[in-house]
Amino acid sequence: MTDLTQTTPPQEEGRSARKRRVIMEAATELFLRNGYQGTSMDEVAALASVSKQTVYKHFTDKEQLFSAIVLGATDRVGDFTDAVTEFAGTENLEEDLSEIARRYITVVIQPRTLQLRRLLIAEAGRFPAVARDYYLRAPGRTMDALADTFQKLAGRGLLRIDDPHLAASQFAWMILSQPMDKAMFFGDEQQYTPADLQRFADEGVRVFLAAYRI
């Protein structure tokens, strides 16, 4: 008699997870290169070196695959927001805020992250729910973490802030606006060195603190 409570053997789970990862990597490459409309499930299967049946076993359709890739890109946001939360206890405001800013811009201004952002913006009309979820899980979650931390720093008497969410938005865009805008329009032609990104971060912090530090 078959034990219906028996789970899939670890080896099988591992193989399934590897195939899913390979499919997502192949689909990501194709979506970023050819766009959503220009990518087919047949092409995904071919690039991943799996059967089309295997692709559909993991993803019911192209829309679900696209959604999994976009929302999967938000998985590591928690690492950054955790760092922002810890920053609320800082004993060295300028130095630690500069570290947060440098980490922030380094994470956001990466070729693959920017490519995905351009793709999602292009497809936001077709997938409004996916675009909204991405915002809530990544930019929105980051803004909430920054706002909460800035409010706590104001409570400690380190900052003077009346609107924490406005302050969080200003902080983010003083750091990101120039490299982000150019990247959106120039694409992969626009490259920044680590020194460039550090300068954007440090100058953004300098201006932010000039406005908000007590």
Query: Are 36 and 65 in a shared domain?
Result: yes
Mark residue 119 as left, alpha or beta (left: phi above 0; alpha: psi -120 to 50; beta: remaining).
alpha
Domain boundaries, position 108: 73-212
Burial of 82 (0-12, 13-18, 19+ CB in 10 A): exposed
Position 13 scores a pLDDT of 53
Position 15 scores a pLDDT of 84
Q: Are 134 and 70 in contact (CB under 8 A)?
A: yes
- Domain for residue 179, yes or no? yes
Return per-residue pLDDT of the chain as tens, 214 residues: 233 333 344 444 588 899 999 999 999 999 999 999 999 999 999 999 999 999 999 999 999 999 999 999 999 899 999 999 999 999 999 999 999 999 999 999 988 899 999 999 999 999 999 999 999 999 999 999 999 999 999 999 999 999 999 999 999 999 999 999 988 888 777 788 999 999 999 999 999 999 999 9
Q: How far is CA 34 from the centre of its chain?
A: 21
Domain end call among 44, 70, 96: 70
Query: Are 110 and 208 in a shared domain?
Result: yes
Does this model's pTM top 0.85? My answer is: yes
Helices (H), the chain: 10-34, 41-48, 52-58, 62-72, 77-87, 93-108, 111-123, 128-137, 139-155, 164-186, 194-212
Secondary structure of residue 112 in the 3-state scheme: helix
Position 10 scores a pLDDT of 45
